[in-house]
Amino acid sequence: MPLPPKPGVIPLSPLQVGDVLSGAFSALGRYWKQLFGVALIAYGAAALVVVSAGAGAVAAVHDHLDPVFNPPYGEHPVRSDWEPVLVAGCLVALVAMVMWLVSAALMYTAAPVVLQEAVLGRRTTFGAVWRRTWSRFPAVLGALALSWLAGLGAMVLFIALFMSLILTDFGHADPPAALIVPFVLGILALIPVGVWLWVRFSFAPSAVVLENQRPVEALRRSVRLVRGVWWRTCGILLLVGMISGMMGYVVQLPFTYGGILAAMPLALSHSTGSRITAVVVVVVLYTIGMAVSQFLSTVVPQLAAGLLYVDQRIRRENLAPALAEAAGVPAAGAPPVGAW
């Protein structure tokens, strides 16, 4: 039996686990410049906004920081001091969550954009990837936001319990068990619900980019494709996530400890300028390591999710002939369903 054509990173046939893993890392190896360019824009813009929000919050509550974090011995911070600090912290956390969603949406869009070329074995440029990513970014952002909103009820309950613990028991050593028990149960209940929703909606970014679907239709499309293969999809995505997370950790280690070792001689100096330089060296190297680690742990799982999406369309909709024809290697088979 002849082997299926392989114009790009995967054979144009139903994929095995090894095909998904090798295809994801092959796509990363071939198009890392384009993907890393999008990541620099996404994470750089997010970091700039969050740092600006943090600086503004510190400036706004500067007079309240010392009474809250360094109160006189034997005294507790008063509400007029800790309440503005708490509100400012919550606002900064909200900005950070929004910017994380925005940067994630950019990367979740760029991965299937690159994968569309990787599966067919075609070259592309950063400019082409960025234009396509930017054009589909609003729809992917909408799909991600809707998937988050799916669990909003449980999240609101969790936040309400958390805020109740802080506001009603601030300054007390032992919060009431009546609040602690539902708080813990809420956390435990959120875990399986979150995993279930994550797998069901994991194909939505690929559907948005590769089929030009709108957010709601993309979520429905993802649910249909995942139906019947939830456990397989979950297992492969968890496996890829663990591998990419370990890779990111290994990459981050040299930057973290390298920065500490490089800064030690400067930190031991009696010069204030040398100590400031030591801090800058540690922060810069740590940030670079974190950026590379975040890049790997975000992009590789999304490439794998895109390949699983392709796999399901090959299995259920006979997409392989359409892919082969698009790649210039026509293959015999039943008429394909859908578009690429």
Sequential DSSP letters for 23-71:
HHHHHHHHHHHHHHHHHHHHHHHHHHHHHHHHHHHHHHTHHHHHHHHSP
The rounded distance, in Å, linking the Cα atoms of 152 and 149 is 5
The rounded distance, in Å, linking the Cα atoms of 290 and 41 is 15
What does the radius of gyration of the chain's CA atoms come to, in whole angstroms? 24
Q: What percent of the chain has pLDDT over 90?
A: 49
pLDDT digits (tens, 9 = 90+) for 286-332: 878 888 888 999 999 999 999 999 999 999 999 999 999 998 886 54
- Residue found under tokens 């600090």: 85
Least reliable range by pLDDT among 126-140, 176-190, 322-336: 176-190
pTM: 0.82
In angstroms, the Cα distances linking 334 to 3, 318, 319, 321 are 17, 7, 9, 8
In angstroms, the Cα distances linking 73 to 32, 69, 70, 184 are 55, 11, 9, 33
Token pair listed for 141: 């952002």
**Per-residue pLDDT at 315:** 95
pLDDT digits (tens, 9 = 90+) for 246-299: 998 898 888 888 878 877 776 666 666 676 677 777 778 887 888 888 899 999
Residues 235, 301: contact at Cβ < 8 Å? no
